[in-house]
Amino acid sequence: MRIDEESEGVSASRNHLVFAYYVTGHGFGHATRVVEVVRHLILAGHDVHVVTGAPDFVFTSEIESPRLFIRKVLLDCGAVQADALTVDRLASLAKYSETAVVPRASILKTEVEWLTSIKADLVVSDVVPVACRAAADAGIRSVCVTNFSWDFIYAEYVMAAGSNHRSIVWQIAEDYSHCEFLIRLPGYCPMPAFRDVVDVPLVVRRIRRSRKEVRQELGIEDDVKLVILNFGGQPAGWKLKVEFLPPGWLCLVCGGSDTQELPPNFIKLAKDAYTPDFMAASDCMLGKIGYGTVSEALAYKLPFVFVRRDYFNEEPFLRNMLEYYQGGVEMIRRDLLTGHWKPYLERAISLKPCYEGGINGGEVAAHILQETAIGKNYASDKLSGARRLRDAIILGYQLQRVPGRDMAIPEWYANAESELGMGSPTCEMSEKSSLMNSCTEDFEILHGDLQGLSDTMTFLKSLAELDSMYDSDKSAEKRQMRERKAAAGLFNWEDEIFVARAPGRLDVMGGIADYSGSLVLQMPIKEACHVAVQRNHPSKHRLWKHALVRQQAEGKNPTPVLQIVSYGSELSNRGPTFDMDLADFMDGDQPMSYEKAKKYFSQDPSQKWAAYVAGVILVLMTELGIRFEESISLLVSSTVPEGKGVSSSASVEVATMSAIAASHGLSISPRDLALLCQKVENHIVGAPCGVMDQMTSACGEANKLLAMLCQPAEVLGLVEIPGHIRFWGIDSGIRHSVGGADYGSVRIGAFMGRKMIKCAASAILSRSSGAENGPNPDELEDNGFELLETEASLDYLCNLSPHRYEALYVKMLPESILGETFLVKYDGHNDPVTVIDPNRNYGVTAPAKHPIYENFRVKAFKALLTSANSDDQLTALGELLYQHRSQVLRIKATRFTSFRRTDNWRTSTNKSRATCWLDSN
């Protein structure tokens, strides 16, 4: 409805309305669902102006009407694909900035004028952000129709690109906040930018011809198994082969290139083929997940074999819906590309998809849009615009979900009391007692003590439930989480299983100064990672079907295989399972290089997480000469929040290495174990972190701060936390990654600063030594020569005192420098884990200054903690924390509440429920 200050009412009657429908430039899926809504609006007698970058035929092949108007304009770019299965996050942000941010003022001016010229009654967006703002500027109501929003999608990309791109996400959220309400489609992501929501059924294109008619047209008998390959663009250089399909199968190929040659058992469909008819005529579909493919697969009860799309953040929610209705089978990318399709296709045709919901979302949405255009109010007035905007901007971001919580509810709405674990002591004791009794029923403790660790008790209980799940063949188990089903088939329950526990950590003081050699103060947290490991002779190893088929296809006798299941995979859209032959770690008779391993795990970003786990094996092979002759099964379960700066990766590495060491009888000291885990992260994962995370996880103790001098990893002792002091770690909502762009560039800047300081010290020393009358005593303080000699060979930036930095070097360092300029003048920065990009500007002054002053602050903080209790003590500690700036912490003068113990524990269990072996490091 047009809002006109000079007159009330609407600009058109119910019988003839004008809609402006904006369509995102992100793939055909949006255009095809828009077609269904537009078709119903036109059938109702209304004019629809579609603003899109999609080809005309997508709309005109479906709708032949003079009431359809197509305006070819691209106002957002969606997600830029690096290849058919991977989104290029940096390119996506850069392209969006080029498309929608830089020309924003002219876009708004043009759209307001155009909306006024067509006398639009309602603006509809799927899901172009600027359309909502343009509508508001033109005084026209707007509605969004979507299952995701771009603020949610781009929020994850910002972590890789750096915080300077954060304004893009904020602007998108603000644009959406002008929308009156959201028509939300099934399989939706969290979208807090929208105040009001109306849910509708699936929007699905109708079928024109029957299964029998399509098969007759293609000359395919009804008993022939037919798979439709629906990729919307195939991997470059990929060649389909006859042997990809099981005998008696045929494959219909959508979106194949004109020059693509196909084997005789593959049939190329025309580019304008009406895909729904061919889907309904098939027995299953193979492709990548998108709204169109998932909704139509569910509607036609077509089993869907899918391959993950990396950094496509809409996918987890669609995948959850697909799997909930028992319609999905995940295929590993490696098996897609190498043609090991058989086990997945056979599994797919055994499924019984059970979606029984509505498929008339297009009609329902069109009715709501029509009613809104003539004046009906679907929005409530209970929340102000400021509240709407606040909720939108909170996505700073990636919303984190936990099992049992509605994915539509942001976690910051959760009850603070439960988040802080302030439940009734009586309830806690009762719960622990119940868990302890349960554990002793399921397992016999052979060695050690549970120490009251309720999370370890819970993990052991979950292992016992996996055993029961594997033995059960009840239909109810079909709806179990895929991760748990995979884990249930992971172990031989008659044999020993070893379990290790490692906590995350809170960075109290020291921060990213660890790689510059600073003193750091770190505290283990109660959240921890558990890893269960079992070793088996290859002939006894229970392989997943696709791994077994792969070995059989290669004509191999049983060989050692590594299989991993990771719980919580949906939180970061990673694959829940990983498997590889252990022989793949060998390059001839030697372990492969770390560089080759890094490339190996980077082939499929959805499984790159396995580098943190499997990388432990390669490091043990390389550094300690260990050879693994048996198969290994691993289950990883962590409660350490990911992307929150509390060392989720280090806890995984430490727990994994502890469990593997225990299961193979290796004796590794906690310090050495931490240093080995750092090699995993630096050289195989490729994250340039220091060692404090791993050291804290391996060596820390509850209720104490671990004091460590990172030169490279010298534990100075444990600092007792006074009873009147309590530390809080507050989640800022901003995701963190040591592999992110900001972290790496800051580290490079610090190492550049060190190199410049060393060169400057050498130059001063050379000038002073070469003076005719000897050194000028006015230029040098006491012991000046000795200090300059030390600074000319500075191993760690933190060994430079603040007063020397201020007196001699601060004015010599540039605020920033181009990588190429630095390399020409200084040759290199002498950091083994980062590489300078010649075309990038790096900050130098700030990254170099921080660790020099931070080391001084940490020393002062440590001394103050042990000083007399006073208000001055707390004030000084708070001031040092404020100066620290790299963490948001709160220090309170209050009674300290105890944390759970955080040692690492190793456990083994077997089927007899009579063996549970525990040992603390």
What amino acid positions are annotated as catalytic residues? 693
Strand partners, 509: 521
- C-beta separation of 842 from 745 below 8 A: yes
- C-beta separation of 140 from 718 below 8 A: no
Using alpha carbons, select from 460, 560, 454 the residue that is nearest to residue 500.
Answer: 460
Q: Where are the beta strands (DSSP E) in 488-518?
A: 498-509
Q: Would you mind telling me the total number of residues written for the chain in this entry?
A: 921
Using alpha carbons, select from 349, 328, 343 the residue that is nearest to residue 246.
Answer: 343
- Contacts of residue 862, Cβ cutoff 8 Å, sequence gap at least 6: 509, 519, 521, 705, 707, 719
Could you count the other beta carbons within 10 Å of the beta carbon of residue 700?
A: 25
Read off the tokens for 301. 């009860």
Could you count the other beta carbons within 10 Å of the beta carbon of residue 557?
A: 7
Q: Where are the beta strands (DSSP E) in 763-815?
A: none
Residue 857: C-alpha distances to residues 21, 720, 754 (Å): 57, 18, 19
d(CA 308, CA 607): 10
The type of residue at 356 is: E
Using alpha carbons, select from 370, 388, 531 the residue that is nearest to residue 41.
Answer: 370
- Contacts of residue 877, Cβ cutoff 8 Å, sequence gap at least 6: 725, 861, 864, 865, 891
Up-side HSE of residue 750: CA atoms within 13 Å toward CB?
29
DSSP state of 733: S
- C-beta separation of 630 from 560 below 8 A: yes
SS (H, E, C) 331-398: CCHHHHHHCCCHHHHHHHHCCCCCCCCCCEHHHHHHHHHHHHHCCCCCCCCCCCHHHHHHHHHCCCCC
d(CA 229, CA 288): 9
Cα dihedral across residues 155, 77, 369, 388: positive or negative: positive
Start-end of H helices in 793-908 = 802-804, 819-826, 845-865, 871-884
Parallel/antiparallel/unpaired status of strands 122-126 and 18-23: parallel
Start-end of H helices in 450-525 = 454-471, 482-488
Q: Is 458 exposed, middle or buried (0-12, 13-18, 19+ CB in 10 A)?
A: middle
d(CA 70, CA 53): 10
Q: Is 95 exposed, middle or buried (0-12, 13-18, 19+ CB in 10 A)?
A: middle
- Contacts of residue 549, Cβ cutoff 8 Å, sequence gap at least 6: 340, 342, 343
- Contacts of residue 693, Cβ cutoff 8 Å, sequence gap at least 6: 505, 522, 647, 649, 650
d(CA 670, CA 682): 18
